[in-house]
Amino acid sequence: MTKPFFAFLLGILCVKSTLAFDTDSAVYISSAKYTYQFVSNKKTSSVEIKQKKVVSYTANDFQANIPVAEVFNNHISIDNVTYRIDGKSPPYGFKPTYTYYGGDDIFYSDSKVCYFPLIIPKKGDNATVTFEETVNDPRYFTSIYFSDKYATSQKQVEIKIPRWMKVELKEYNFNGYNITKATSYIAGDDADLITYTISNLPAVKNEPNSPGPSYLYPHLLVMCKSASVNGQNFTYFNTLADQYSWYKSLIKNTVTDEAVIAAKAKLLTADAKTDMDKIKAIFYYVQDNIRYIAFEDGLAGFRPEQADVVLAKKYGDCKGMANLTKALLTSLGYDAKLCWLGTDHIAYNYDTPSLNVDNHMICALNYGDKTYFLDATETYLGFNQYARRIQGRQVLIENGDNYLLKTVPVADISQNIDRQTASLRITDGLITGEVNYLWKGEDKEEILAGINSVKKEKAEDAMMKYLSGNNNDYTITGMKLSGIDNYDKDLEAKYTVKTRNGISSFGKAYYLDMDNTRELIDAAIKTDDRQHEYWFAHKTSINREVELALPAGYKVSALPAPLDIVNADYEFHVKYTASPAKVTYSKNLLIKNTRLAKSKFTQWNKDIELLAKTYNESLIIKPSSE
Amino acid sequence: MKKPLLLLTLILTFYVSAHAQTYDQKASDIQKLVWDNPSAEFSAKNIPAKYNNESAVILAKAYTMQRTSSLKFKFLIITAGVANRVNKIATYHERVKINDKVALEKYSTLEYQKKFDNSLNFGIAKIRNIHETYVGAKIIKANGQEIVVNTNEAVLTKNTSKDQQGKLAIPGLQVGDILDYYISTEDSSENGGLDSFKDNDQVFVLANEYPVLSYSLYFQFNKKSSVFTISANGAPDFQRTTNKDGDEIYSLTVKDLPKCKGEMWSSPFRQFPYVEITNSSKSKFYAEYVDKGSRSAGLDANKELLRTHFNNYILDNEPQKMLKEYFDGKKGLKAAPLDSSMQVFYNIFKYRIFGSYNKGDVDDMSAINYRTAQSNMAIIDVSRLLTEMKIPHQILLVASRESNSLQNVLNFNDFGSIIKIENGNKPLYMSFYDAVTHFNEIPAKYQGEQALAITTIKKNSSNYVFEESSATIPVAKANENLVDEQLQVSLSTDMQKLKVQRLVKQTGYIRHSSQRALLSAMDIDKALMDDVKGDPLEKRISKTFEIKKYKDALISGMAKSANDTRNDFLEEAKGQYDQEPSQLSDFKVINAAINSTKPVFEYTSTVVLNNLVKKAGNNFIIDAGKLCGSFVQIKDDERQRTVDVYMPAARTFKYTVAINIPQGYAVKGMEEFNKQKVNKTGSFSSNAVLKGNVLTIVATRSYTNNFEKAADWPLITEVADAGFAFNNQKILLEKL
């Protein structure tokens, strides 16, 4: 009897370790069944998708209280909502709330949410929630995600596809999950039934600096291509040309009053001498004067606002800003085009035609033999500089009846610079001296975004606090900033510093810390907690060159050891150099690859520990006589 | 200033006559009234040069409100009555110069409740309760061009027949522009239950995030209204006039208000000028039959309300019974010293208040430790039972020093009550604040305040007379609000990290936040119960109809999981050291200190801290000052102060840091720790002694009083500076 019991016990342990349910979560999903069915609606002469989601929650604790929510919009309607707790109907008067669904980045959208609180009084009890929905246009039926906010024990996803419907399902991120697929033919309906069975699916986990969900969670990308039913033929996105054709229909007549646009373009470029001056003047005007406000209302979510309307309103979303940029440039005779792309938040490219492929619009400018991409939503990034989120991304560019596919260049690390040079000395037991800073690219963009998020009268204080590197006794005087209003130039800061933070004296010896910013010192990743790979904000090149003049009669007693770490993803270099009259501290921290894979976390943490150890070493200077 | 007031009157009059209009017609007419004949203040385009560097400058702002009412005959299903329809019309009008992108962002969106219909239907009758909002905005460009914003571009984020919420992105707005906008609301209600002084209470602080060149307030009330106003902290009084219809008008205009600056250790409702105004119907119906508190405004009226409650509440003798049982009968109780019996009596009331739970507690169990008592109601039975027991006492009515003063009480919740029991020269106090407040402990927020002392005289069971005198609430001394922390510190074998074993003892006001955070609700409940030999939690829940079906949930939720306890101790350590410890272990509460017999809250934990040790050649530098946590830093722009200093309490922090010095190292820099700064506002002292291989640093920081005049701010900064210098002090471990 011992053996079977042991096997049973092993089984329990295996299930537990595989499930890895978060015991702090109020519930888990004991079972779920999602069914999708393509149907022909004769009344509207269209193809619809009927979907039913039945989810059974089991309470991990007493009085488990979770919000149940389902998002819908102009193309997805919720036809019926029910729930039962332990087989019983909800209390009298149960009525879900239907309301606008807003997000931080979107001013208005047609997204709405149906929600209600689900309270399961007893630990171990079940509640079953059912949503029945209709998608009224196959173009908007784009994906089926398997994961949920809560860990799922068992889930079944059934997709019934009549043979008159041409649809391709592409599987993503199935590796490492317990997912099986079965296909059968239902003769009576002349339809294929595809069934996915998933077990022990962990809950979705939101972590900062993570890839988008399409990189992380098992799901199906649904590509509805065409239908032929009831004597009618429908073409959705059978090819990328179909998708482009649909997009193109939305960008007809994107300027109502061309004269207004032309006059504005002329005014903006009146003092510009060269073509490049004119192009930059237009781009920087849109960046600086058009506030980003996103409207996503049905087709308006795909159709750019008229360029002259954006100009008048001084606000717009990415489509409107791209359209205005294009209109101003074309009015001056330049070859500017609208383009669509998916930022790096999205795992797909245009090999898989779908509305899920892109989420952004920018303007492409063909000038000379080069194509420049102008993204005015990046408010403080200079011309021909690209944000990480669009670098290397495929771009669908309008080109009459056809389209062009290009790629946004991947910027070299030198695009982004954060450089400090300082000339320091010891005066009355304090470190004093002159400090210069220079920022380029996305580093500059971050600083300017920070300055412009603080009230004018407090901006200088905020900047000084930033420059102090959170040191509590770092006094800045005579600060001068340049390049704040000219995005074409580097941002620079110059100031005089007096600090006692980096200096200690014991006897006649001074113990000095020549780095007041100590970047990445707390950048170790909690490997026991982190689930996703880590994405840095952008490529980074942090340089520090600090010279300390030795006081007369002093010499270097001990120099901290250098640090040199080089690998394909990042480099850390720290070095102290002594000469008779001065000590030079130099540091270079390079993030070359913005995506740090989970497999590299251990090495990263070791390297961060070495960097911290280096930061935590002091330079000692003593009187020459000692 | 006559002109704007006249214009405002016109707007108000318009509303009254405009009921039959459509929404758009009304909106259009209001726009004309607001903008067509602007006052000089609302025509201004220039800001004084001194404000050029401000994010935004309010050129003018005005708030107007009119209350009208009419009697309307209402048929209800089983009775008939006269419904009093109250219309309240208010317009907020502001003209602001936008000087930077932060202000642009703030003013670029207008969100409002366009319509909300909360009317009640009773078959054939309807109790009307409707709110409507009208907005307008125009932009004045630097060249003087005025652009009126098309408010029809607003989107509705909610759009039902009864609830419409609007959102408008202001088009064309740029830095350098002036935005002139208004939000006009009309509330029409026949629900007298929502027309109390408390419901209609409005506070206007005469200080702003931005400088204000002109600020006007204008209120017009019909004859059927009662009005109550307060002008506090130097705010001017409302000018009161009567128009030809007999309506009462309250108005006020102030000029050139500088922007307010948030200061450390301040009490805005004691320091910023503000006016408060409220109104209600003169109808006695609700005051007499529905809610006696609904028409009480001001200290005298609320004092009378307290007396009414006093007389009307049915006395619950259960606490007295429990007290006798605790002392094994009347004889035992009589034999007990007064302070002992009163301590038990207080604990019984605390147990009854905080050992009771309702559905709201079940819904949010994380808030149980943060519940506070309604002291004005809690003291009623206490006082009446003390009277029955013939124990002389007073009720002290006192306002929180974190809020309005006692003179500026408007509502019943604007003050609290404390029981003071006569006991020779050592009076005993009972304060009902939170679950961890002790017998004889007065909440820090009341300390030092002037109070109204009420002696209750029982004429009969429903007639108590109040006799009044004045009193000052005692202030706890600095050593009674004490943090005494002992730290054993050792270096890790690689000399990179510090392991710190902490033993923390807290007394007085300082312990409350730690107790609420680190104790579980179950710990507190058990202590409350044990103190008075009370019923077990399960039994209490079973007796309560509202929550007995949630018994399992409540009992389960009140206990903290091991993970929650760890997280709470981790948060505490993060707050202390401004960094997340790389390790946390051996954490536990040693003494919960729920009552005054063991009053010191005591807990321990061990943390490992990074970045406090630096290698220097063969030597090591330890950031020893930082082991005591982060001390207050007075920044350059905080050194000049004109407003008085409201400290949370007089208090003392004492740290004893014992650092184990590794073999083979000598300690240098100890002499820098021998410092002392003492003045009348507080003191800081520190010293370091090496005994064997243990370096002991003792640092004591004390603030003598809970209040200081602004003139003494430099003395406070002296003490704070001494502490801050210590905070940055280091020692050297030199290799021998």
Q: How far apart are CA B105 and CA B101, in angstroms?
A: 6
**Looking at the predicted structure, is the pLDDT value of residue B16 above 70?**
no
Which of A297, A504, A612 has the CB atom closest to B621's CB atom?
A504
Distance from CA of B223 to the nearest CA of A (A): 42
Query: Does A100 contact chain B (CB < 8 Å)?
Result: yes
Domain range for A274: 242-411
Query: Does B111 contact chain A (CB < 8 Å)?
Result: no
Q: How many contacts does A have with B, using Cβ atoms within 8 A?
A: 128
Chain B residues closer than 8 Å to A456 by CB: 53-55, 99-100, 102
Which of B55, B158, B557 has the CB atom closest to A457's CB atom?
B55
The fraction of chain B above a pLDDT of 90, given in percent, is 69
pLDDT digits (tens, 9 = 90+) for B567-606: 999 999 999 998 999 999 999 999 999 999 999 999 999 9
Query: Does B666 contact chain A (CB < 8 Å)?
Result: no
Determine the pLDDT at residue B310: 86
pLDDT digits (tens, 9 = 90+) for B305-328: 899 888 888 888 999 999 999 999
Query: Does B613 contact chain A (CB < 8 Å)?
Result: yes
pLDDT band with cut points at 50, 70 and 90 for residue A19: very low
**Looking at the predicted structure, is the pLDDT value of residue B11 above 80?**
no
Report the CATH number that the domain containing residue A116 is assigned in CATH.
Answer: 2.60.40.3140
For residue B540, tell me if it sits in a domain: no
Check whether residue A174 and residue A52 sit in a common domain: yes
Check whether residue B41 and residue B158 sit in a common domain: yes
Q: Which residue of A has its CA nearest to B153?
A: A313
Mutate to test the interface with A, among B614, B671, B672 (most CBs of A within 10 A): B614
Determine the pLDDT at residue B200: 87
Contact A522 B174 (CB under 8 A): no
Check whether residue A224 and residue A283 sit in a common domain: no
Cβ-count burial of A463 within 10 angstroms (0-12 exposed, 13-18 middle, 19+ buried)? buried
CA distances, B92 to each of A357, A509, B170, B420 (Å):
46, 66, 17, 46
For residue B549, tell me if it sits in a domain: no
Torsion region of A90: left, alpha or beta (phi above 0 gives left; psi -120 to 50 gives alpha): beta
**Looking at the predicted structure, is the pLDDT value of residue A20 above 80?**
no
Overall pTM surpassing 0.90 (yes/no): no
Chain B residues closer than 8 Å to A622 by CB: none
Check whether residue B207 and residue B324 sit in a common domain: no
Check whether residue B235 and residue B323 sit in a common domain: no
Q: How far apart are CA B527 and CA A225, in angstroms?
A: 69
For residue A9, tell me if it sits in a domain: no
Which of B102, B554, B633 has the CB atom closest to A472's CB atom?
B633
Distance from CA of B118 to the nearest CA of A (A): 17
Chain A residues closer than 8 Å to B158 by CB: 99-100
pLDDT digits (tens, 9 = 90+) for A396-423: 999 999 999 999 999 999 999 999 999 9
Confirm if B686 and B675 have CB atoms less than 8 A apart: yes
**Looking at the predicted structure, is the pLDDT value of residue B502 above 60?**
yes
Angle at A110 between CA A109 and CA A111, to 5 degrees: 90
Contact B728 A501 (CB under 8 A): yes
Which of A100, A557, A616 has the CB atom closest to B615's CB atom?
A616
Contact A560 B155 (CB under 8 A): no
Number of domains observed in the structure of chain A: 3
Check whether residue B86 and residue B127 sit in a common domain: yes
Report the CATH number that the domain containing residue B317 is assigned in CATH.
Answer: 3.10.620
Please give the distance of CA A449 from its chain centroid, rounded to a whole number: 17
Which of A62, A122, A511 has the CB atom closest to B621's CB atom?
A511
Tokens of B59: 């050129």
Interaxial angle between packed helices A459-467 and A441-451, expressed in degrees from 0 to 180 and rounded to the nearest 10: 130
Check whether residue B722 and residue B682 sit in a common domain: yes
The fraction of chain A above a pLDDT of 70, given in percent, is 95
Check whether residue A457 and residue A502 sit in a common domain: yes
Check whether residue A394 and residue A429 sit in a common domain: no
Report the CATH number that the domain containing residue A401 is assigned in CATH.
Answer: 3.10.620.30
Query: Does A464 contact chain B (CB < 8 Å)?
Result: no
Check whether residue A359 and residue A221 sit in a common domain: no
Query: Does A121 contact chain B (CB < 8 Å)?
Result: yes
Check whether residue A364 and residue A420 sit in a common domain: no
SS (H, E, C) B621-672: EECHHHHHCCCCCCCHHHCCCCCCEECCCCEEEEEEEEEECCCCEEEECHHH
**ipTM entry:** 0.85
Chain B residues closer than 8 Å to A99 by CB: 157-158
Check whether residue B90 and residue B233 sit in a common domain: yes
Check whether residue B428 and residue B493 sit in a common domain: no
pLDDT digits (tens, 9 = 90+) for B239-290: 999 988 888 999 999 999 989 888 899 999 999 999 999 988 876 655 565 5
Place of tokens 């003179």: B407
Confirm if B432 and B426 have CB atoms less than 8 A apart: no
Distance from CA of A213 to the nearest CA of B (A): 27
Mean of the pLDDT values across residues A339-364? 96
Domain range for B704: 479-520+560-735
Place of tokens 């990743």: A525
Domain boundary among A381, A396, A411: A411
Q: Residue A387: how many CB atoms within 10 A of its CB?
A: 20
Q: How far apart are CA B649 and CA B703, in angstroms?
A: 8
State the average pLDDT for chain B: 89
CA distances, B48 to each of B140, B146, B211 (Å):
17, 21, 10
Which of A456, A473, A560 has the CB atom closest to B728's CB atom?
A473
In chain A, which among 575-604 make CB contacts under 8 A with chain B? Answer: none
Check whether residue A173 and residue A63 sit in a common domain: yes
For residue B530, tell me if it sits in a domain: no
Domain boundary among A411, A437, A472: A411
Confirm if A511 and A505 have CB atoms less than 8 A apart: yes
Query: Does A529 contact chain B (CB < 8 Å)?
Result: no
Check whether residue B283 and residue B335 sit in a common domain: no
Check whether residue A336 and residue A382 sit in a common domain: yes
Mutate to test the interface with B, among A63, A527, A576 (most CBs of B within 10 A): A63
What number of helices (H) and strands (E) belong to chain B? 17, 35
Confirm if A307 and A254 have CB atoms less than 8 A apart: yes
For residue B454, tell me if it sits in a domain: yes
Chain A residues closer than 8 Å to B616 by CB: 511, 558, 617-620
For residue A3, tell me if it sits in a domain: no
Check whether residue A407 and residue A419 sit in a common domain: no
Which of A61, A121, A619 has the CB atom closest to B550's CB atom?
A121
Check whether residue A383 and residue A434 sit in a common domain: no
Check whether residue A492 and residue A593 sit in a common domain: yes
For residue B538, tell me if it sits in a domain: no
Check whether residue B72 and residue B109 sit in a common domain: yes
Radius of gyration of chain B (CA): 31
SS3 category, B12: helix
Which of A62, A313, A500 has the CB atom closest to B557's CB atom?
A62
Confirm if B554 and B361 have CB atoms less than 8 A apart: yes
Report the CATH number that the domain containing residue B77 is assigned in CATH.
Answer: 2.60.40.3140
Confirm if A584 and A576 have CB atoms less than 8 A apart: yes
Check whether residue B415 and residue B291 sit in a common domain: no
Distance from CA of B100 to the nearest CA of A (A): 6
Query: Does A289 contact chain B (CB < 8 Å)?
Result: yes
Check whether residue B273 and residue B346 sit in a common domain: no
